[in-house]
Amino acid sequence: MQTIILKEKHTINHSRSLTSGKISSQLLFLAIPLLMGNIFQQFYNVVAAIIVGRYVGEEAFAAIGVGGTVMNLFIFILMGCCTGVSIILASLFGKGDYHSLRKECFLAVVFGASFTLVVSTASIFFLPLLLESIHTPPEIFGYTQSYLNIILGGLLATFFYNLCAAALRAVGNTKYALVFLVIAVILNAALTFVLVAGFGFGIAGAAWATVFSQGLSAILCMGYIVKKLPFLVPTREDMRYDGLLLKKTIQFASLSAMHQSSLYIGKLLVQGAVNLLGTAAIAAYTATGRIEGISLAFGESGSESISVFVAQNTGAGDRKRALKGFMEGVSSLIVLGVFMSFTLYATARPCVTVFVGAGQTSAIAEGVSYMQILSFFYVLSYIGSSFVGFFRGSGRINIPLIGTTLHISLRVILSYWLAPKMGLKAVGLATGIGWIAIVIFQLTVFFLGRRREEKGDPFTPQGQPEISSEAV
């Protein structure tokens, strides 16, 4: 009995149940740390690239760029898997089924770590072929391969950090997931400088700094969970094979991973269309990509907070509150999207100039036209992100994957078709049309589901974990 009371006390103090209380403040409490985390995440490669470029040379700097592109693909796959797991965890937490919650943690660790080791080994083995397939220049091939061998060999550290952060988000504790990420980013910058500038380890020093900092953040995160959130730590009784729960874990993880990776692959394909437009367009697209990454972080953070809120309340059986949370979330993001659209349109020129330099007049012109066209569609992006959070949180994780595939397909096809005629602004228009398509698709699925419920035939969210409600 004393153990149960202790676990309940930790649950109250270091996690956050979203099944009661004021919805708007809960969504905001979740979203702010997530937003800051998404922004900090973008500093990982940027700092390393700057230090390597200054102290190693131009070829090493280019290798970091190519290596970052490859690295991000694998990281997005692992992040997607962990996001899928977090939905199951949030649902079980909302239900109060702590035994199944710990079993899910055990299964996620064992099978997730095994999957990561397979991915890590296979990616290193096929790395030379992969680098050749993306036409890596001979002069930077060696640099890129040595950098990625270390990064890909350390994917297990990346997996454990993302899994721990996903578990914290699932129980409403987004604050400490941010704290450990900030520590990792700062440590990565410091270690990169020491190893590259101080000890002359070159590009390998930057890779080791990244792996070490992510490993430390994973250890800190796991230590915090063990000490403050013991109800997440599997006991011997929880360490058992559960075929149904494993099936759900694989389903959620794989679909979420495909969602994340398809979005990134689509961006790579669009980059190919931009590369055909010349150096000025490439520079402009690179600059606007940095700006777009920060602005879209608001929508992504809102999506994640809606997802956790909906998952907890769906797990608790309160679909009415889950729907109300989604409606409040999407309303807030619409207002924010309109504000962001006006802001980006008005500040397009100075923002692009900061990244490309005042003397690059062609690049500035291309970047401004791209940003100003895209700004008309930003509110649709935020609406789409809201629906992703709702469908993912309610267990219908196939819907975001279908919607993203539709969006990316339109974006890539229209970019290659229109870019030779219209330049970079064609890519902005193609992106906007893709957002229109995805929102129409999401609205259709949403209202068909609502109509079904009103007719007395409530659907069971596809993929929702059907497990016992055995409590602690």
Q: Is the pLDDT of residue 173 over 50?
A: yes
Q: Name residues whose C-beta falls within 8 Å of residue 8's C-beta, 6 or more positions apart in sequence.
A: none
Chain centroid, CA 433 distance in Å: 23
What's the whole-number mean pLDDT along residues 220-224?
92
Contact 374, 292 (CB under 8 A): yes
- The mean pLDDT of the chain is 83
Per-residue pLDDT reduced to its tens digit, 355-378 = 666 777 888 888 888 888 988 888
Q: Name residues whose C-beta falls within 8 Å of residue 126's C-beta, 6 or more positions apart in sequence.
A: none
Q: How far apart are CA 271 and CA 285, in angstroms?
A: 8
Q: Name the token pair of 281.
A: 């367009």
| Amino acid identity at 195 | L
Per-residue pLDDT reduced to its tens digit, 288-338 = 777 787 788 888 888 888 998 998 898 888 889 999 999 999 999 999 989
Least trusted range by pLDDT, from 95-104, 107-116, 123-132, 176-185: 176-185
Q: Is the pLDDT of residue 459 over 50?
A: no
Give the H/E segment covering residue 425. Answer: helix 424-454
| Long-range own/partner contacts, residues 341-344 (CB < 8 A, 24 or more apart) | 341/375, 341/376, 341/377, 341/378, 341/379, 342/375, 344/291, 344/295, 344/371, 344/372, 344/374, 344/375, 344/378
Q: Name residues whose C-beta falls within 8 Å of residue 142's C-beta, 6 or more positions apart in sequence.
A: none
* pLDDT (0 to 100) of residue 292: 80
Q: Is the pLDDT of residue 63 over 80?
A: no
pTM: 0.81
* pLDDT (0 to 100) of residue 269: 79
**Burial class of 53 by CB neighbour count within 10 A (0 to 12, 13 to 18, 19+):** middle
The angle formed by the CA atoms of residues 301, 306 and 308, to the nearest 5 degrees, is: 100
Q: How far apart are CA 244 and CA 222, in angstroms?
A: 26
Sign of the Cα torsion 24, 26, 29, 34 reads negative
User: Which residue is it, tokens 């930057």?
Assistant: 206
Q: 266-293 burial by CB neighbour count: b if 16+ within 10 A, else e?
A: beebbbebbeebeebbbbbbbbbeebbe
Q: How far apart are CA 66 and CA 140, in angstroms?
A: 9
The DSSP code sequence of 226-290 is HHH-GGGS--TTT-S--HHHHHHHHHHHHHHHHHHHHHHHHHHHHHHHHHTT-HHHHHHHHHHHH
Q: Which of 229, 353, 207 has its CA nearest to residue 288?
A: 353
Q: How far apart are CA 314 and CA 87, in angstroms?
A: 10
Backbone angles phi, psi at 58, to 5 degrees: -65, -40
What are the structural domain ranges in the chain? 24-240, 259-454
Q: 405-432 burial by CB neighbour count: b if 16+ within 10 A, else e?
A: bbbbebbbebbbebbeebbbbbbbbbbb
* pLDDT (0 to 100) of residue 468: 38
Q: How far apart are CA 332 and CA 466, in angstroms?
A: 32
pLDDT band at 259 (very low <50, low <70, confident <90, very high): confident
Q: Name the token pair of 190.
A: 């410091």
The angle formed by the CA atoms of residues 265, 357 and 375, to the nearest 5 degrees, is: 50
Q: Which of 77, 41, 36 has its CA nearest to residue 210?
A: 41
Q: How far apart are CA 161 and CA 157, in angstroms?
A: 6
* pLDDT (0 to 100) of residue 211: 92
Q: Which of 75, 85, 161, 64 has its CA nearest to residue 119?
A: 75
Q: Strand, coil or helix: what is 471?
A: coil
